[in-house]
Structures are given as C-alpha cells and as structure tokens.
Structure 1
C-alpha cells in the first residue's frame, strides 16, 4: 500500500470521527434544550453523512440520538415518527441489524402510546425474522413486548403464551439481570391478574432484587407491587415490616407512602380513608394501570363488606341512611346494593319508590332439585353403559 493512500485513509478516518463527534454534541444540545423537533431533524439530516461511517459507528450514533428523546418530555409522537422513518432508511440501506433494533424500539413506543394494533402488526413479522436468524437476545425482548401488548388488550391466554416463549428463549442464552427482572415483573403481573397473589409476590420480590442490583428506578414499581400483593392477600400487617426491611429502605418515597396508606385503610376497613388515599396519591395509584385495576377490586370488596355489616340489623332501611353511614353518594350505594342482590350476596329487594331496601331472611336451601339432577345424570350414565354392552354383544 502506498504512503499517499495510507495518509488519505487516515485523513478520512479523522474526518469521520469529527463528523461523528459534531453530530453527537449537537444531539446533546437539543436534548438539554428539550428540542424534540430539532433532534428529529438532526437524525434525518445525518443519514447521508452516516453512510461514510462504518455500520457499527453509524448504528451507535443513531441509537444514541434516539436515546436522547427519553430526556425530552412530550416527545413520544416525534420519536415514533423518526423511528419509523429511520427503520425504513435502514431497510433501504440493507442494514438488517439496525432495522430489527429500530423495529423493536418502535414496538415499545407503540405500546407506550397505546397503539396496540400497530404494535401487533409490526411484532408478528419481526418475530418471524428473529426466529429465522436465531437472534435469541432480541427475540426475548420482542416476545416480552408481545406479552405486554396482549396483557394491555386483556388477552391473558396469549399474554401468558408469549411470556412462556420469552422464558424458553431466555433459558437458551445468558440473560442480563435487567432482562431477567423484566421477565419476572411480567410473570408477577400475570399471576396477579389470575389472583394468585402469593406467587405474584415471589416474582415481584425477584424483580426487586434484580432491579436493585443494577440501581434501576423500576425497583420502586416492583416494591409497590409487592406491597399491593400483601394487601390483596389480607396481610396488611406485613406491609410495615417489608417497608422497613433492608432492601426496601432506600426506596422510601411517595409510592411506598401511598401503599402504606392504602394498607392502613384496608386494615381499618375504612372506605373514607381509602378514598382519601386515592385522592392524595392520585399519580402513584390511579395513574398506574396495574395498581388501579387491583385497587378497584379491593375497593369493591371493601364496599361490599361495609354494606353487609351496615344492613345486617335491618329488615327495612332507607337507602339514604345506608349512604350516610358509609359516607358515600346515594346513587352509588343504590347501584352497589342492586348488584349485590343480583349476585345473591344477600336476599332482598329495592323499593325505589319509597327509597328503601327490604332485606329478606336467608331462605332454607332445598336440595331436592340438585338431588334430582344427580339421579338423572346417574341414570343417563347407566343407560349409556348398557347401550355400549348391547352393541358389543350384537
């Protein structure tokens, strides 16, 4: 190789490094100034210049610039648009690894933006591609995203199936602690959906340990879900012990305070305290979809228990009086009493004209109907057996 060609390559390498540094520095300025539109335009304008860099370097630059969006508030739509455009560009440039990485990121962004249909349309072909190329690490991440999408759509069987596939793929490789913690988190969430709070608690504990070892902020969410499981198991006494434990102490804050307040309200069987906690810690409780759905069930159970206790001494009572005793609006109490009558929690009828609830005595159970059904079922089995034997004899 001649000296002139060596110098030319060295000069080109130096120039490429300078271009890379300029792009990254400008990206940092836009990030710090919270200029999402300008950051997106920078990524668009940088594509031609990135063609002069090696594929590894250009991939690193694009990923770094996209990561800057996480520090810019209200930039989700801009991030989705630029990620989609860059994915198409990577496909045209035949940069397969970058395309897959961007599509995986795009699925996560669709999920965050609740664009579930778009996410499912993208995740299907991406999974087929990753399975064909046997990229296990990215396969685990995309299968986990698929499980989260189906969970958000309330399709629990498919969410469990996707999670099982992700765990199977993860068993074949070394799984980084954060990915393992994410798998444990999703397992805990799905078990909690099935009301298996004991198993869910153990998964959330594993999640807390995993995130805590990496100083990841999601450890707070894992701790919050642990406390939620204890409350749902009617073990509110254990909440304080967990909160003051060695592992949980460094995560004290509004999220933990919110759950301890809910635990105290549940322990006192107080709807008033429960509602005050929901109002005081709205962002920590009501804005978390996992916590919100389970606390809605808990509130419903607590309301039911309070109403049963209040109406127990009465055979006829005004609905407004019941509402006054439980400190709730009359309409809400009337609706709940109607539901409880339909669910046969107690026997009674609502006299809406008089605004009263009439409570009946618990009727004696008549087992004649059940016994008759059992007799008919057994007779049917005998006839079927005789028919089969007759068929063999003939």
Structure 2
C-alpha cells in the first residue's frame, strides 16, 4: 500500500483555468440534452443518473424520464413503481428511490424550488452529496461551487501525482483543496463541465489521450510514465458469493408470479421473482402457497455482480395447472411477459422475463 507523502504544489490557478477553458471552448461537450433549457431540476436528474454511469448510456434514459416527468412536481406525484420502471437497466436503484424522495422534499418542504442557495442546503436532500450539489449549483445557476466526482479526481491525482486511494479521508481532503484552488468565480458552469469532460474524454481510466491534453507538459503522472498508477485503486477484497434460486412460476395463461422487494436493501422497491436459499425451501413454499404447481427443472446458473458481492442466480421453472389467482397479500402480482406493466424490474429479472413467451409454458 502506498503511503501518503507531502501534498503536491498546485499550478497557478489562472494558468490552469485559461488552458482548461481554452480546450473546452474548442473540444468540450455543449450539446448534451441536460445542457439545453437548463434548470436545477434537469441538471439534478442528469447528475444523479451520471453517478457510476457513462454519458452515452444516460442520454436515452434522461430523455424518456423528462418526457414522462417534465418537472419536479410531476416526479413527486408519481408512484415509485413508475419511477423505478423508467430506471430499469440503469442500475444502482437507490439513486431512483432517493430521486423520488428528494422530489417530494422539494415540493412539500421548499415549495417546488430547489434550494440552490448553498451546497449545504442542497446536499441536505436525499441522494445529493457535496460534489453533486456543487455540480447542480454551478451548472444550473452559474455560481461558484467546486466539484470532485470520479472524473475530476482522476484528473487531479494524475496532474499532481497524488499518492494514495482517493477514498482515504486525507487524500480526499487534499483533492478538495486542489478543486477549491482551481475553481473560478466566473464561467463556473463551463469550468465544471470542462473538468468533467477532461476526465471523461481525455484523462480516461484506460489509455488516456495525453498528447491531446492541455496539461501534457504539467502532468506529474505523464512525466513519470505512470498514468495507469493514478488514481490508486481501493485495496481489493475478494467479493463474497451469495446464492439464490429465482422461481419462474407460470400459470396456464403464461403469466408469471412476481413479488415486490422491501423498500430498502437489495433491489429495494423493485418487482422480482420469488427467491429462495435452496430447493427445499422453494418446494415447501410451492406446496404450501401454490398447490397444484409442478417444478419442471432448473436453468443454468449465472452471476450478477454488485459492488460488494457476487450473486449466483439459479432460475427454477415451474408450472401452475390453473389460472393464477390474484394474490390476497399486497406485494404480489401475476405478470404478463407479452404485455409488460410499467413497473420497476431488476436487470436479471427483466432479462429472464423477456426470454419467456406466454404461449410456450415452461
């Protein structure tokens, strides 16, 4: 593990800003959907979607989301199921739940206006951290607010040769100091976008385009030939493997039984296939809850990777020789794969459901 060495000396702030904005004026991204008709709401939704997700992936989701929820009031009034449905496939579903909660806070506690007067006020909303709040303020209002997302961390650690994993508190503090040093009082929206664009298009995680960078002559990592060493990775731990069985129970109409996950935790609030730890538990549940059903076999197991663990999923096919009754308990439903409802589905569940045909019973 690397040790944290003395803090690097920053470049002259005016020099940095001039070169960065000169590059941005020529090569920066200025036609992204959330840059058109900018508002705190549009910028906020885009920033939440862009967490852990690339721009190319986000664009389609953002446009569909804006079409359905053109303002924060529409989002606040929506059912969580519909919000999660529009988020299906984007991953990290806590973002969608927090987005929905924050919209309600804005409408009911702030009279529908985002509290963009300060980073502290904005970051009090669910799902908004210091960097996201800074990006929203700078992009939507033009006011000065430093940011430090993953792209910016990568630019600053390479430029200054900052040792240590950026998640360590002392390293993150130094990076915030550098971000504060460089952020100007003017052209704040452009500066913020330029910093993100640098990391996303030039100072990329793999094979950075150093020869095209306006700071090629200033970059410590480049001078050392150590671009790939910065930023340092989080100390690795072997991801534990969890196992689950997903029951694909279809009735005589080809409808599939779904259950809604608890509001928090893994796939919180999404609809999914009933899950069991082992075959014995699955068989016992079917005998008790779905008499007349028959297990017909297992599909090949596959792995779905989460941030902190790997989930090994074994789909189990079963058939109910009658029409499925509407479950008495809430949180259960029969789902027609050929006429999908507007509900949130976990990505592996969505893939399994799409593989089914209502006319070919399992």
Higher relative contact order (CA 8 A, sep 6+): 2
Greater helix share, structure number? 1
Q: TM-score, normalised by structure 1?
A: 0.22
Greater strand share, structure number? 2
Larger Rg: 1
Q: TM-score, normalised by structure 2?
A: 0.24
